[in-house]
Amino acid sequence: MKARKLLSVSMAAAAALLTMSATAMAEEEPVTIKVFSNNPDRTADQGLVEQTIFDAYMEEHPNVTIEVEALDDEAYKTKFKAYAAGSEMPDLVSVWGQPGFIDEVIDAGVLAELNPEDFADYGFLEGSLDGFSGDGKLYGLARNTDVIVVYYNAKMFEDNGWEVPATYEEFLTLADTINEAGFIPVAMDGGDKWPLYIYLYDLMNKKDGTDLMQKTLDAIASGDYSDLAFIEAADMLREAAERGVFQIGFETTDYGTAQNLFTNGQAAMYYMGSWDMSMATNMDIPDEIRENIRCFNLPVNGENADPLALTAWNGGGYSVTENSANKEAALDLLKYMFLPENWTRIAWENGVCMSAQDFSQFATGNETEVQKQLMDMVAEATAISGTSIGDLGTSEYKTVCEDTVQQLAIGSITTEEFWAGLSALAGK
Amino acid sequence: MQKAYSNKKIIFTLIAPGLLMFVFAILAPICLSVYYGFTDFSGLGAYQFIGFNNYKELFGDRNFWMSLRNSLLLAIGFICIQHPLAIITAALLDRMGKRAEGFFRTVYFLPNVISVAVIAYMWKFIYNPNFGLLNKMASALGFSGKTNWLGSGMAIWSVLIVLIWHGFGWGMLIYYTGIKNIDPVLYEAAAIDGADNKQTFLKITFPLMMPVIKINVTLAIISALKQMETVYLLTNGGPGNETQFLANYLYKQAFSSFRYGYGNSISVIFVIVCILATQVLNKIFPKEE
Amino acid sequence: MEKKRHFTPGKIVMWIILAVFAVIQIFPLIWLVNHSLANNNEMFTSGILVMPETIRWDNYVTAFVDGHFLLYLRNSLLVNILAVVLVLLFSVMMAFACTRMHWKLSGVVMGLILMGMMIPIHATLLPNYIIYDKLRLTDTLWALLIPYVAFSLPQGLFLTSGFMRSIPKEIEEAAVIDGCGIYRVIGVIIFPMLKTSLVTVAIMTFLNNWNEFMMAMTYLSSPTWKTLPFSVLEFTGIYASNYAVQFAVMALTAAPMVIVYLCLSKYITEGVAMGAVKG
């Protein structure tokens, strides 16, 4: 609720600014822009940021109506493909700047090409738009910088005398200690499967992060996964699961449940992306937990290990569709959304997420602790992993990778079988 | 009169609306499925004809066989667990007073009127290993309460329990009606001959119920093959593909893996399997009368 | 009668068994309603059932408002009632043509349609999406109504033709000889005679389609025609981490049918039983 209030104040200021510029364009033909979004909750987190911007835009352009259809990720992707196969695509859509999602969509000519020069002074971080490009052309804009971290409950740590681990060994030992104390060490969203391959990729990245993305792309193309970093990381994932680092039944735990285990004090840690920093401003979470949410970068030691390497990528974003009846209007809305004082500022000031643009200019010093930690992590990072393994192949590759990484984690297949299964998809 | 009964125009008007619906919503899509089943269509853009490649791949696809195995397990579960329980309950219910009968019948059937969406989500919570109803009950009874109900090895049985639970009332009701239709004179005769409850059940109720049982077994197998909604929401085929079913698998292939052509080839085989199963069952259980 | 009132040990055992089954069938639903009145945190801290600190009726307000309860209920009722009416109409028409009238292809047509009972709905999801999209039927009422009618028709035809065979021909034949047209015969003589049987077909059709959501999910996108299961499906995304609200929406969407069922339980169970034993 507080987040909402904060937001409305900042929006009121923005709206006041906007109405001044708006008067010029009244009396235009009514336009309805259909938006298809993967943020079903319009009253919190990114959905709120989206909706706030849309509302402001409609205020400014009285002739424009924005209709939002929103579904959560899995349902969204399914429906997106159905739309893409059909003829009535919405005008502005959520996309993921990852080959597993966007390549086939770009190939099919579903997305409209954007002019990179339009966005030259938008402050997009270097490389953040690479995933949204194909053949040197730009097809979408990234909305976030996503970093995978381990959130932890600082109060629980302090009360029990637990320390933030500095090495992977310490992390595992800590998990044992937490288990003994009767808590869940790490809440893991294994039901959605992708957090598991992110964990795998996180380990790969930190064990030997040099040019990991290229190395992975090569492996996907050739089917050769013999690189030691790959093999070891898979073993480590299996070991962690076997040792009880994650909760019982992590493979069937969905996103909301994993988060709930953490925010209701059942789990001491929670493995999730930086967008969940919004937990720290979510008033539905009990005070003593919300105020004590902190995070650390999963530590991995070893010969080539890099403690400051981050597993981070620019996942979600937006595109205008090629066959949109209101292409110009949708494009205008997209440009408006990504004005730094819109998406980037609103998202940051409300503790929702880090945008893919330069968000540090909006630092106020009033950020939540976890926000500050994340900002520092990004500032200090020596290497950034980029898109992770499951999202680097085709969508078939993604499906297989998801299913088998889950099987690997629960031990129903071996490391060898896991890599062999992915090898079999080479060249497909 | 003969003439009125063979008026072509009238026959046509009577048949046309229903037939049209049927052709449009069932026959045409199946023909389209056959067509796409021979292509490598991804759902987007251009595609090529690839002959029987999809079908060749399908027969080598572990998940396809896993889906069939799961349907079989489910059918066995229905037949060996749900139906015996339903028959026994129905037989017991038949002996209760009128009011009790009405009450229990209403209660048993209640889950059937609740949407599968509600049922599946509710059970997802019941099964949750960390705070679900089942594990809370287990720990209240002194067990560890740490069972991973939807985990590997357990999941298919947990799915089965939900389906048995949900369909129990329906099965019970059918058997109950079957028993009610048995001529009471037979029971009276048995009572005069001094037969006890068990004998009456085995010698009279059970044999006379055979036709109803046969129909229900057929229905159970067909519904096991057609299973989708509950699994889609409860496990979506996971962990891995352990609780995969044909309908869910074709959906996943078409919409998650972007393999629309392959998905359609599964549809085609799916229809064939269902029709074959019905034919085989009709052979095994020939219609009496 | 006096004798039957006695509580013999056998009877007590029977009572216990039946009661246990009753509890198993009903308890999860009680649990659902119970937790829908608590706050989210109590799910994690409570025992099997919860005595909420404050009863959270606001969960239901959220479910009612954000779940578009009235709109989706209206849509569900509309599409299901239309489907039932059409299925009844078409079934009786076809059953009459196939069982009473004389034409060569009657057996073939009947067989073809009855085969529809074996065809899984889900096998048509993908191609139907393409067909409806080409015809611009996606996101309209037709996208649900057509398949709902089509997939209920085989069963409807099967049941009505069964019932029709069991009613005597003499009355209608007399009417036809008196010069009464076939349409009138069906409307004035057949329909009233089949009344109780049609209740069965109506109930079965209604129950089957009321629960359907796969097609609805695939063919619909805007809220205009979405049906009641969508309230539940949407809440798992919108309120991913607020279970109490999710429970409330589940209880709320289940309520209309449960209430109707409790009022008409006798007719519904008898209708289903009649259809199922026949089928």
Q: What is the phi-psi region of residue A254: left when phi exceeds 0, alpha when psi lies from -120 to 50, beta otherwise?
A: beta
Residue found by looking up tokens 């790490």 in the block: A186
Determine the residue of chain A that is closest to B241 in CA distance.
Answer: A403
Of B45, B146, B240, the CB nearest to A248: B146
Chain C residues 111-170 within an 8 A CB cutoff of chain B: 112-113, 115-116, 118-128, 130-131, 146-147, 149-151, 153-154, 157
Euclidean distance between CA atoms C66 and C242, whole angstroms: 13
Question: Cβ of C150 and B178 within 8 Å?
Answer: no
How is residue B212 written in tokens? 């109803």
CB C80 within 8 A of CB C209: yes
**pLDDT exceeds 50 at position A23:** no
Residue found by looking up tokens 């429970």 in the block: C247
Burial of B165: CB neighbours in 10 Å, binned 0-12, 13-18, 19+ = middle
Q: C72 CB near a chain B CB, below 8 Å?
A: no
How is residue C235 written in tokens? 């809440």
**pLDDT exceeds 50 at position A24:** no
**pLDDT exceeds 60 at position A21:** no
Asked if residue C185 and residue C97 are part of one domain, the reply reads yes
Determine the residue of chain A that is closest to B145 in CA distance.
Answer: A248
- pLDDT at residue B216, rounded to an integer: 82
Q: B263 CB near a chain C CB, below 8 Å?
A: yes
- pLDDT at residue B18, rounded to an integer: 92
Q: What is the total count of domains within chain A? A: 2
Asked if residue A205 and residue A101 are part of one domain, the reply reads no
What number is the average pLDDT over the span B221-225? Answer: 88
- pLDDT at residue B211, rounded to an integer: 82
Q: Which domain holds residue C232?
A: 67-238
Helix (H) or strand (E) holding A294: strand A293-296
Asked if residue A174 and residue A94 are part of one domain, the reply reads no
Asked if residue C201 and residue C152 are part of one domain, the reply reads yes
- The shortest C-alpha distance from A158 to chain C (Å) reads 22
- The shortest C-alpha distance from B43 to chain A (Å) reads 5
Q: How many CB atoms lie within 10 A of CB A145?
A: 24
- pLDDT at residue A152, rounded to an integer: 97
Asked if residue A301 and residue A168 are part of one domain, the reply reads yes
In a domain, C146, yes or no: yes
Asked if residue C152 and residue C34 are part of one domain, the reply reads no
Question: Cβ of A406 and B155 within 8 Å?
Answer: no
Q: How many CB atoms lie within 10 A of CB C199?
A: 17
Q: Name chain C's partners: 3 or more CB pairs within 8 A.
A: A, B
Of B131, B235, B260, the CB nearest to A252: B235
DSSP A204-218: HHHHS-TTHHHHHHH
Q: Roughly how many angstroms between the first and final C-alpha of chain C, as a whole number?
A: 36
**pLDDT exceeds 80 at position B287:** no
The upper half-sphere exposure of residue C61, i.e. CA atoms within 13 Å in the direction of its Cβ, equals 4
How is residue B275 written in tokens? 């029709």
**pLDDT exceeds 60 at position A11:** no
What number is the average pLDDT over the span A137-164? Answer: 95
Asked if residue C116 and residue C49 are part of one domain, the reply reads no
What would the pLDDT profile of C107-149 be if each residue is shown by its tens digit?
A: 899 888 988 888 888 888 878 988 998 898 988 999 999 999 9
Of A84, A191, A251, the CB nearest to B44: A84
Helix (H, G, I), strand (E, B) or coil at A153: strand
**pLDDT exceeds 60 at position B62:** yes
Q: Which residues, 6+ apart, have CB-to-CB distance to B228 below 8 Å?
A: B245, B247, B248, B251, C120, C122, C214
Interface with chain C: mutation pick from B30, B122, B227, highest number of C CBs within 10 Å: B122
- pLDDT at residue C276, rounded to an integer: 66
**pLDDT exceeds 80 at position A123:** yes
Pairing of strands A312-313, A31-37: unpaired
Q: Please give the DSSP secondary-structure letter assigned to residue B203.
A: I
Q: Which domain holds residue A83?
A: 2-144+314-362
Asked if residue A184 and residue A113 are part of one domain, the reply reads no
Which amino acid, residue A38?
A: N
Q: What is the total count of domains within chain C? A: 2
Q: Name chain B's partners: 3 or more CB pairs within 8 A.
A: A, C
DSSP A28-48: ---EEEEEEES---TTSHHHH
Closest among A295, A315, A297, A313 to A305, alpha carbons compared: A297
How is residue B4 written in tokens? 């009125």
Euclidean distance between CA atoms C103 and B11, whole angstroms: 8
Pairing of strands A383-384, A146-153: unpaired
- C-alpha distances in Å from residue C96, one per residue of C27, C133, C159: 46, 34, 12
Of C130, C221, C242, the CB nearest to A284: C242
- pLDDT at residue A222, rounded to an integer: 93
**pLDDT exceeds 70 at position A26:** no
Burial of A286: CB neighbours in 10 Å, binned 0-12, 13-18, 19+ = middle
Helix (H, G, I), strand (E, B) or coil at A184: strand
What would the pLDDT profile of A328-354 be if each residue is shown by its tens digit?
A: 999 999 999 999 899 999 999 988 889
Helix (H, G, I), strand (E, B) or coil at B191: helix
What would the pLDDT profile of C13-52 be if each residue is shown by its tens digit?
A: 888 999 999 999 999 999 999 999 988 888 887 778 888 8
Of C44, C134, C243, the CB nearest to A266: C44
Asked if residue C177 and residue C74 are part of one domain, the reply reads yes
Q: C221 CB near a chain A CB, below 8 Å?
A: yes
Helix (H, G, I), strand (E, B) or coil at C246: helix
Single out the residue in C41, C59, C77 at which a domain terminates: C59
User: How many residues can be counted in chain C?
Assistant: 279
DSSP C77-135: HHHHHHHHHHHHHHHHHHHHHHHTS--TTHHHHHHHHHHGGGS-GGGGHHHHHHHHHHT
Asked if residue A258 and residue A162 are part of one domain, the reply reads yes
- The shortest C-alpha distance from B254 to chain A (Å) reads 9
- C-alpha distances in Å from residue A162, one per residue of A183, A324, C155: 13, 55, 64
How is residue A129 written in tokens? 């738009």
- pLDDT at residue B174, rounded to an integer: 86
- pLDDT at residue A1, rounded to an integer: 41
- pLDDT at residue B213, rounded to an integer: 85
Question: Cβ of C94 and B14 within 8 Å?
Answer: yes
Q: C55 CB near a chain B CB, below 8 Å?
A: no
Q: How many CB atoms lie within 10 A of CB B4?
A: 16
Q: Which residues, 6+ apart, have CB-to-CB distance to C41 below 8 Å?
A: A264, A286
What would the pLDDT profile of B12-39 be if each residue is shown by its tens digit?
A: 999 999 999 999 999 999 999 999 999 9
Euclidean distance between CA atoms B15 and C101, whole angstroms: 11
Question: Cβ of B102 and C266 within 8 Å?
Answer: yes
Asked if residue C78 and residue C55 are part of one domain, the reply reads no
Euclidean distance between CA atoms A414 and A276, whole angstroms: 32
In a domain, C253, yes or no: no
**pLDDT exceeds 80 at position B154:** yes
Closest among A134, A74, A125 to A103, alpha carbons compared: A134
CB C232 within 8 A of CB C32: no
Q: What is the phi-psi region of residue C179: left when phi exceeds 0, alpha when psi lies from -120 to 50, beta otherwise?
A: left
- pLDDT at residue A12, rounded to an integer: 53
Euclidean distance between CA atoms B45 and B49, whole angstroms: 14
Q: What is the phi-psi region of residue C119: left when phi exceeds 0, alpha when psi lies from -120 to 50, beta otherwise?
A: beta
Asked if residue A318 and residue A281 are part of one domain, the reply reads no
Burial of A306: CB neighbours in 10 Å, binned 0-12, 13-18, 19+ = middle
Q: Which CATH number fits domain B61-284: 3.30.300.30, 3.30.70.260, 1.20.20.10, 1.10.3720.10?
A: 1.10.3720.10
- pLDDT at residue B289, rounded to an integer: 43
Q: Which residues of C touch B97 (CB under 8 A)?
A: 4
**pLDDT exceeds 90 at position A149:** yes
Confidence class of residue B198 from pLDDT cuts 50, 70 and 90?
A: confident
- pLDDT at residue C149, rounded to an integer: 95
**pLDDT exceeds 70 at position A5:** no
In a domain, A428, yes or no: no
Asked if residue C71 and residue C51 are part of one domain, the reply reads no
Question: Cβ of B258 and A104 within 8 Å?
Answer: yes
- pLDDT at residue C30, rounded to an integer: 94
Confidence class of residue A15 from pLDDT cuts 50, 70 and 90?
A: low
Q: C102 CB near a chain B CB, below 8 Å?
A: yes
How is residue C278 written in tokens? 């026949």
In a domain, C145, yes or no: yes
Q: Which long-range CB contacts under 8 A does B52-56 form with residues at least 24 apart?
A: B54/B261, B54/B262, B54/B264, B54/B265, B55/B265, B55/B269
Helix (H, G, I), strand (E, B) or coil at C181: coil
Closest among B276, B277, B269, B273 to B253, alpha carbons compared: B269
Asked if residue C73 and residue C199 are part of one domain, the reply reads yes
Helix (H) or strand (E) holding A132: none
In a domain, A25, yes or no: yes
Closest among A421, A424, A341, A278 to A10, alpha carbons compared: A341
In a domain, A367, yes or no: no
Q: C222 CB near a chain A CB, below 8 Å?
A: yes
What would the pLDDT profile of C250-259 be if each residue is shown by its tens digit?
A: 999 999 999 9
Range with the lowest mean pLDDT among A349-353, B281-285, C1-5?
C1-5
| Averaged confidence pLDDT in chain A | 88
Most confident of A41-45, B199-203, B245-249, C183-187: B245-249
**pLDDT exceeds 90 at position A416:** yes
Range with the lowest mean pLDDT among A74-88, A238-252, B41-55, C232-246?
A74-88
Q: Which residues of B touch C248 (CB under 8 A)?
A: none
Euclidean distance between CA atoms A224 and A230, whole angstroms: 10
Burial of B173: CB neighbours in 10 Å, binned 0-12, 13-18, 19+ = buried
What would the pLDDT profile of A31-58 be if each residue is shown by its tens digit?
A: 999 999 999 888 888 999 999 999 999 9
Helix (H, G, I), strand (E, B) or coil at A162: coil
Domain boundaries, chain B: 61-284
Pairing of strands A312-313, A146-153: antiparallel
Helix (H) or strand (E) holding A147: strand A146-153
Asked if residue A199 and residue A85 are part of one domain, the reply reads no
Question: Cβ of A88 and C217 within 8 Å?
Answer: no
Euclidean distance between CA atoms A425 and A393, whole angstroms: 9
**pLDDT exceeds 60 at position B110:** yes
Closest among C46, C40, C66, C41 to C244, alpha carbons compared: C40
**pLDDT exceeds 50 at position C3:** no
- pLDDT at residue B118, rounded to an integer: 94
- The shortest C-alpha distance from B108 to chain A (Å) reads 29
**pLDDT exceeds 80 at position C6:** no
Q: Which residues pair with A92 in a beta bridge?
A: A35, A320
Q: B257 CB near a chain A CB, below 8 Å?
A: yes
Q: What percent of chain A lies above the pLDDT cut of 70?
A: 93
Residue C170 phi/psi, 5° resolution? -55, -45
- pLDDT at residue B1, rounded to an integer: 60
Euclidean distance between CA atoms B125 and B149, whole angstroms: 11
In a domain, C179, yes or no: yes
How is residue A292 written in tokens? 């004590």
- The shortest C-alpha distance from C222 to chain A (Å) reads 7
Asked if residue A318 and residue A300 are part of one domain, the reply reads no
**pLDDT exceeds 50 at position A28:** yes
Q: Which residues of C touch B24 (CB under 8 A)?
A: 131, 146, 150
Q: Which residues of B touch A248 (CB under 8 A)?
A: 129-130, 146, 148, 151
Q: How many helices (H) and strands (E) does chain A have?
A: 16, 14
- pLDDT at residue A296, rounded to an integer: 96
Question: Cβ of A40 and C234 within 8 Å?
Answer: yes
Asked if residue A271 and residue A247 are part of one domain, the reply reads yes
- Which CATH number does the domain housing residue A353 bear? 3.40.190.10
Euclidean distance between CA atoms C221 and A71, whole angstroms: 10
Q: Which residues pair with A293 in a beta bridge?
A: A153
Asked if residue C109 and residue C11 are part of one domain, the reply reads no
